[in-house]
Structure 1
Amino acid sequence: MRRAEATTGRGDQPWWWDAVYYRVDVGAFADGDGDGIGDLDGLRTRLGYLELLGVDAVVLAGAVDPASEQFAALLAEAHEAGMRVMAALDVDPAREDPRSVLHPWLDHGADGFHLAPRDDPTGVVAAALAGHPDRVVIGSDSGVWHLAFNLDLAVAGFDAEPVRRAITGVLAAPGPQPAWAMASRDTEPSRDEAALTPVRAMALVQLALPGAVCLRHGEELGLPGTRRIWMPWEGFQPPFGFSPVVGDWPAIPAEWAAFTVEVQLEDESSTLSLYRQALETRSTHPAFTGDDVEWFGAPEQCLAFRRVGSSLTCALNTSSVPVPLPPGEVVLSSRPLESGQLPPAPPRGWCEPCLVAVTSC
């Protein structure tokens, strides 16, 4: 599906309204030429994975030349697969003409931009894009954007009340449609279910909300830590298919053998499988509609909200005891239910356990 053929999202909304944006640190994603550094050709060989995951737009971060043959080839193949290609850029409209930064990308067909946090209250960036109404801008702080990037869920922690306040605050704020993002979890490398529970639960909260979603590469694997992530694709030792270069890779932990794409695709209970199912359900299930939420009564340290105008309810349990589910069919759950109830997290690994289920009447 080419870009011109895919102009709308759900209903009458444009495609970008509730899209999934996947930010790639190009240098750490896939090495296509064997020099030990990720590149656009490497990324192009992995587009099938992003299509399988359910990505709507790839956001390129790092040193990339939009005039290169590699960018043109990536753009063509991504469009053929129905994905947009955007650029993550640092533009300071107080100090530079945005056209000098944006127009080289526009001239070579980029579909939009994710701009570093900058204030642009006078709309200088929007003016620079006036001749390109089909390009999408994700911004932060004040400015004239299509989508407003936020990390409010990430800083809310794993406690129902702060999560509720974060959601309420973002949806009540005037301005562009929200684009929800989550920070990496600062945990030790582990396949421990207790360590992965908050990652999986908060992913489902994020994907249940109205608005767009911004993922960072490797996030869907449940990879631990906040450092730069060299994408682990397959195999049993570093660099796990990231590069054909053999030798020592001290920046890639050997423990990531349990987190590779290859391993997780074969495991229906893996974090990657949960993301795949959640993203597919989000894009196809008729209950995923509505641009606001309404809140329901919930037990202490729990929350439940519904997308307004739909039958979708999201329930989060951050308490230490099981709680009853909202009525309806369970569409997704970050962990198996316990006797029909929403269970707490395992008792070790996290002091604030949580679990989420998405139900539809």
Structure 2
Amino acid sequence: MRQVGTQDYPGERPWWFDAVCYQIDVGAFADADGDGVGDLDGICSRLGYLELLGVDVIVLAGIAGSDPASPSLARLLTEAHDNGLRVLMAMDVDPARADPGPVLRPWLDQGVDGFHLAPRNDPADAVASVVAEYPDRIVIGSGTGSWQLLFGLDLAVAGFSAEPVRKAITTVLDSAGPRPAWAMASRDSTRIRDHAALTPVRAMALVQLALPGAVCLRHGEELGLPGTERIRMPWEGLMRPFGFSTARADWSSIPHDWVHFTVEAQLEDEESTLSLYRHALEMRASHPAFTGDEVEWFGAPEDCFAFRRVGSSLICALNTSAEPVPLPPGEVLLSSRPLVEGELPPGNAAWLV
């Protein structure tokens, strides 16, 4: 199976090739000035968390109408770049109605590393042409276009059944086009927050992170929170809004049981969804098995699959059946839930070498 998007980069791979992108809905992430709305300074105050999580790229959503020359953006770009983080802007630019240059160039001139365009069907090549004027900048797009990365919700649409997930992966990797950027959470998706329902969420996270290509996460996804557009990030404490803001406001829209899903609570729990993401992202970035731009499939029990990254020893196994199944031979690096007598439980995934 040929991996797409590799043919133009036979030598050293560019920074975005396998990047972990973390989209932040700015108004819902962290409120630094106490007005009840998240802001860029709030993101600056949480850069340590993003480094701890292990992401490579911050995608800023919800500030396209702001001033590109604002001091807060300049500070964020400087501090992010100093800490090895790239910064993209999420934008909805329609080149069919106007020249995108006047919209995009002020952001690029300030040092933004590129753009994540909203899903669209039209080929927005004019955007790519503007970005190409600036060295080392990129576009994450969808549909057709001259993008560096192709955003796709194929895994999310496939649901949690081995054969549809396998078909989604095969379709993307067999297609000619930009390198994939795999995503699971969209603006309209939901995540159920109880322990049992998080099991397939955790399993699909390992499938997503095992595939060749970049990855697109949304803030809160690593906590197992719903993937909807305005999820206020629960940071710490026992009372709503859980460290998101110091404003005295009606925070009843934040579920009170999120006290168990705060960053603080999950960092202290080695079995939490956040801990799983942290371990997975660290392994993805540092373990030598995470190489190779093709996958090959093994035989597997019904409602299960296993694939290997060609050119490496990494195997990803998924069990969507109702029974535990034996794992392929190898050393287990990570599993989405603990194994049961050496077998992969229902609704789980594992990495092996």
Q: Same fold (TM over 0.5)?
A: yes
Call closer, same or farther: CA 1:186–1:130 in 2, change over 3 Å. closer
List structure 1 segments (4+ residues) > 3 angstroms apart after TM superposition: 119-122, 224-227
Shift of 1:248: 2.4
User: Retained in 2: the 8 A contact 1:188–1:225?
Assistant: no
Tell me which residue corresponds to 1:175: 177
Alignment of 1:248-267 (within 5 A): 248-267=250-269
**Contact preservation (8 Å) 1:120, 1:144:** no
Q: Deviations over 1:68-105 (max 9, x none)?
A: 00000000000111001110000111111111221110
Q: What's the secondary structure of 1:276's corresponding residue?
A: helix
2: distance between equivalents of 1:250 and 1:229?
A: 13
Partner of 2:72: 70
Amino acid at match of 1:359: L
Counterparts of residues 280-319 of structure 1 (less than 5 Å): 280-319=282-321
- Aligned-residue offset at 1:189: 3.7
Structure 2: stretches of 5+ with no match in the other structure: 1-8
SS of 1:131's partner is coil
How many Å apart are 1:224 and its aligned residue?
A: 3.4
Shift of 1:256: 0.6
Q: Secondary structure at the match of 2:197?
A: helix
**Which residue is 1:348 aligned to?**
none
Match of 1:359 in 2: 352
Instruction: Identify if the C-alpha distance between structure 1 residues 227 and 136 changes in structure 2 by more than 3 Å, giving closer, same or farther.
Output: closer
Identify the range of structure 1 (150-159 vs 221-230) with the bigger mean alpha-carbon deviation: 221-230
- Root mean square deviation, CA, Å: 1.6
**Share of identical aligned residues, percent?**
70
| Aligned-partner SS, 2:290 | coil
Aligned match of 1:5: none
Letter of the structure 2 residue corresponding to residue 30 of structure 1? A
Q: Report what 1:80 is aligned to.
A: 82
How much does 1:133 deviate? 2.9
State the partner residue of 2:3: none
Q: Which amino acid aligns with 1:56?
A: D
Partners of 1:282 and 1:88 lie apart in 2 by 25
Moved more, 63-72 or 200-209: 63-72
1:234 and 1:262 in contact (8 A); partners too:
yes
Deviations 1:278-327 (A, max 9, x none): 00000000000011111110000000001111110000000011111011
Q: Which has the higher contact order (CA 8 A, sep 6+)?
A: 2
Q: Please say if residues 56 and 84 of structure 2, whose CA atoms lie closer than 8 Å, have aligned partners that are also in contact.
A: yes
Gap runs ≥5 in structure 1: 1-8, 345-353
Q: Which residue matches 2:38?
A: 38
The residue matched to 1:287 in structure 2 has which SS? coil
TM superposition score normalised by structure 1: 0.91
Q: SS at 2:182's partner residue?
A: strand
Aligned to 2:25: 25
Instruction: Give, as a single letter, the amino acid of the residue that structure 2 aligns with 1:84.
Output: R
TM-score, normalised to structure 2, is 0.93
